[in-house]
Chain A
Amino acid sequence: MTGPTSQFSEKTGCNNCIMRGLGLCEVAIGLGLDHPDPGGAVPISQKKLSAPARRTVFRKDELMDSVPIVCEGWAVSVAGLSNGRQQILSILLPGDLLSGSLLFEQRLSWSVNAVTEVCCRCFNRSELRDVLATSPKTFDRLSLAYTVERNRIDQLAIDLGQRTAEQRVARLILNLRDRSAERGWVHDQAFDFPLRQTHIADATGLTSIHVNRVIGGFRSHGLVEISDRSLKIVNPEGLRNLAEG
């Protein structure tokens, strides 16, 4: 079995990244790597970390000296309960900050698992924090990413506490469609979808059997098609109506 691997002290490597135009990376890159922001301070040291699919990338309670951003692949942040049960707290796509909390806390409060092969760039926390106060652009971008994270957790609680199984799964699919669209990955309502039924179950608080039934219902009603790690929303309006109840 192969664990995560990392290389330290790289200052380049984002030149060809397709995520560089997405808010957060643009700030990190603009501040230190290729086109230093005049308002920024010094280049932000980073290390690259890779992990194969289905491996733990970061463990709960791990002490982190950096703030990772996902560059490639899909990952999930996971809270474990007793008896091996787990709840997926967020699905992380390229361009996503692992958590804004890591700007202020060293200890990770949950685990991060790779869904596909994953590559992250981990920006030095103290250097990143140093520029927070001096660069309004960095402050605004990071605080926006942090607020988006809080709003996502609010929505998860609302989904889990109040919404039906069909609504939860439909909202998960639409959320991933919207986030994929921001990244230019949606073509004719189809996008990469590497999640397995167990991931969907752990993200929606359902059993895999229940998820199977729900997805089967979506298919038979002509709402979605899932094949070969790809999902196509056949009837976007119908799925949205279902999601909104």
Chain B
Amino acid sequence: MTPERQFESPRLNNELSCLNCVARNSGFCGTIIGKSSRRSPSRQERISRAFLSAAEQDILSAHGNASQEMFVLCTGWAFRFYQLADGRRQLLSILVPGDLFSAFGLFDPRPGYSVQALTDVRFCQLDRADLKRELTAEPSILDALGKICAVEIDDLNAASADLGRGNANERIVHFALRLAKRLSARGMTIRKNCYPFPLSDTDIADITGLTEAEVGRVIAGLRRNNVIDISDGKLLILNPAGFEGNASAG
């Protein structure tokens, strides 16, 4: 029996900064911080922030805990999830470098979800009041955040449509294609059609509402039929053309 892991709180990491962050030009930072820093070099300084590190599986943000900060993932992977009383969990979204834990964090100081590190992570906490002041001062930044919110809504709706009406194959393929599209947009590719993929079968099961056994069977079938392959921490899209049209429900 595996001993129960003792989770640690995220640690302040003063060695980090935005200057040499790989995510600075992508995702939330590329849209908001990067954009604003070009217009006004001092804008970054006007938003109080701190950098933290956490280990794989650590809880980064707990359901219902009030926070005065918004969080953006700098390195590593994490996921947003909801845990039911009986221990089951539903993964709501996968977070990669440059992602806010949720774009709605600005409006939602007491989130109804938790965030857990999938790998070792570094992340940045931004003062919500500072950020809100900057957003309302410059409509283009508010617009950018609003568009990020809209993308989050679209992605969640597409995932829900698959959960409600998609078969096991569709749930997994559509999830993989949506993730691949996001990773491509961030330049997070290993080679053409090949992406890093640190999720386990359990994680995939908790995203797609399937059992681990179903996930194993479906992935084996998709591999046999040259649709996608998930192995050795990599996602390989073998026949994107065949599924591209169904990638997002709507």
**A residues near B, CB below 8 A?**
60-61, 79-82, 85-87, 89, 99-101, 103-105, 109-110, 129, 132-133, 136, 139, 143-144, 146-147, 149-151, 153-154, 156-158, 160-162, 202, 204-205, 244-245
Q: A87-B164, A129-B143, A153-B156 are in contact. List 17 more A-B contacts (CB 8 A).
A: A79-B250, A81-B166, A87-B161, A100-B146, A103-B146, A143-B107, A149-B153, A150-B104, A150-B108, A153-B153, A157-B156, A160-B163, A161-B206, A162-B90, A204-B164, A205-B163, A244-B85
What A residues does B246 contact at CB under 8 A? 81-82
B142 in the interface, Cβ–Cβ < 8 Å?
Answer: yes
What residue of chain B has the Cβ atom nearest to residue A99's Cβ?
Answer: B153
CA distance A244 to B86 in the complex (A): 11
Nearest CB on B from A203, distance (A) = 8
What B residues does A136 contact at CB under 8 A? 136
**Nearest 9 CB-CB pairs, A to B?**
A205-B164, A104-B146, A161-B209, A101-B150, A160-B163, A79-B161, A143-B107, A87-B164, A87-B161
CA distance A171 to B246 in the complex (A): 29
A82, A147, A154, A156: the one within 8 Å of B107 (CB): A147
What residue of chain A has the Cβ atom nearest to residue B171's Cβ?
Answer: A161
Given A80-B250, A86-B165, A105-B147, CB of A133 within 8 Å of CB of B142: yes
B154 in the interface, Cβ–Cβ < 8 Å?
Answer: yes
What residue of chain B has the Cβ atom nearest to residue A203's Cβ?
Answer: B164
CA distance A133 to B140 in the complex (A): 10
Nearest CB on B from A130, distance (A) = 8
Inter-subunit contact A100/B149 (CB<8 Å) = yes
Inter-subunit contact A89/B107 (CB<8 Å) = no
What B residues does A82 contact at CB under 8 A? 246
